[in-house]
Amino acid sequence: MLTFTLRRLLVAIPTLLFISLIIFLLVDLAPGSPLSDIPLTVPPDVRQRMIEALGADQPVFVRYLLWLRQFFWVEPAYLLDGWLGTSLAEGEQRILSWQSRSPVFTVIGQRLPQTLTVIGTAYLLGVAIALPIGIYSAYRQYSMFDQFGTLFAMIGFSVPTFFSGTLFIIIFAVWLGWFPTKYDTQLSVTDWATFVEQLRQMALPVMTLGLANAAVISRYMRSSMLDNMTQDYVRTARAKGMPERTVVLKHVLRNSMIPVVTVIALGIPSIFGGAIITENLFGVNGIGAALIGAINASDLPMVQTLAFIFAVLIVAFNLIADVLYGLLDPRIRYD
C-alpha cells in the first residue's frame, strides 16, 4: 500500500504540472483582459505603467513560471492570511488579483469558510440521507419505500438546482416566510439567537444542494447493493445461518461501498470549488461567486488559481479513493 501511494504521488507531480500549464495557457490566451478596458484617452506612459503594475508586460512563459513559483512556494500560506487573520513578512511576492489588487489566496481565504459551511453541510447531509435510502431500497426492492426512493432520486437528479432553488425560495421564503431569501454574509455567530439565524439562512441552499447530491449517491448505492446481493458469498453466508443484519451490513455493504466511495470522493472537490449557480442564487459570498466575479472582470490570476486548486483536489481525492479501496476490500492488493 505504501509503495502504491508513493508511486501515485510521484505520478501526480508531472500530471499537476501539465494541468497547470494547460489551465494557465487556456485562461491567459482567452479573449478579454482588463487591459482592453483601458480608455484610449489614457496617455501611453500611464497605460504602460498600468500594464506593468498588473505584470502583463512579461512574456507568457515568464508569467507562467512566476505564477507557478509563487503558487507553490509562497501563496498557500496566505490562505491563513485571509482565514485566520495571520500575516506574513512584507515584501514577499504574491499572486495579486487584478480585480481587487489583493493577494489571490487572501481573497480565497475570505470566501472559503462560507463555501465550506454551506456547500460542505449540504454534501454531508446528502451523503447521510443517500446511503440509508440506497441500502434499504436495495434490500426491499420494488417495495413502496423503494418506489418512493426512486421517485425522490429521479426528481433530485433531473431537476436543475436553479429551478429547485427558485422553487424553494417561492414556497418556503415568500409564501410561508420560514426562511430568508438571501444569505447574510455579515452575520457572525455569537450566541444562540445568531446560531439559529445562521441555520435559517443556510436551510434553503443546503436543501437545494442536498437534494441533488442525495439523488445521485442513493442511485449508485442501490445499484451497487443489488449487484452484490445476488453473489454466491451472500448465499453462502445465509446458508451458514448468519443473521440477516450481519449479511447485509457487514458483507454486502462493505463490498458495495467500493464504487460509491469513488462517487463520494470525486464529489468532495466540488465542496471547495463551490456551487456557482446556488451561491449566486442565494447570495452566498463563496468561492463560486468569486469565480463568477473574476470571469466577468477578466481577473485572470483568480480564475487560473481557482481552476488549478480544483484540479489539485481532484487528483488528491482520486488517490484517497484508491487507498480506501484496499481498506474496504482486502482482496485488492497494490504491491
- The predicted-structure confidence for 186-235, as pLDDT tens digits, reads as follows 667 777 888 888 888 888 888 888 888 888 899 889 998 988 888 888 88
Of residues 74 and 101, which shows the higher confidence score? 101
Give the CA count within 13 Å in the CB-facing half-sphere of 248: 15
- What would the mean pLDDT of 4-25 be, rounded to a whole number? 84
User: Which of 41-55, 57-71, 79-93, 230-244 reaches the highest mean pLDDT?
Assistant: 230-244
User: Which residues 6+ apart lie within 8 Å of 179 measured at CB?
Assistant: 172, 173, 200, 201, 203, 204
Q: What pLDDT sits at residue 55?
A: 64
Residue 84 burial (CB count, 10 A): 9
pLDDT in tens, 149-164: 888 888 888 888 888 8
| 103 pLDDT above the threshold of 60 | yes
Residues 125-145 have a mean pLDDT of 89
Q: According to the model, what pLDDT value does residue 88 have?
A: 37
Q: 117 burial class (0-12, 13-18, 19+ CB within 10 angstroms)? A: middle
- Where is pLDDT greater, at 146 or 285? 146
Rounded to whole angstroms, the Cα distance separating 78 from 85 reads: 10
- Report the chain's terminal Cα–Cα distance, integer Å: 6
pLDDT reported for residue 216: 87
Residue 146 has pLDDT above 50, yes or no: yes
Record the pTM: 0.75
The full set of domains in the chain, from first to last, is 106-328 (1.10.3720.10)
- Centre a 10 Å sphere on the Cβ of residue 90 and count the other Cβ atoms it contains: 5
Q: What is the mean pLDDT of residues 90-95?
A: 48
Mean of pLDDT over the chain? 78
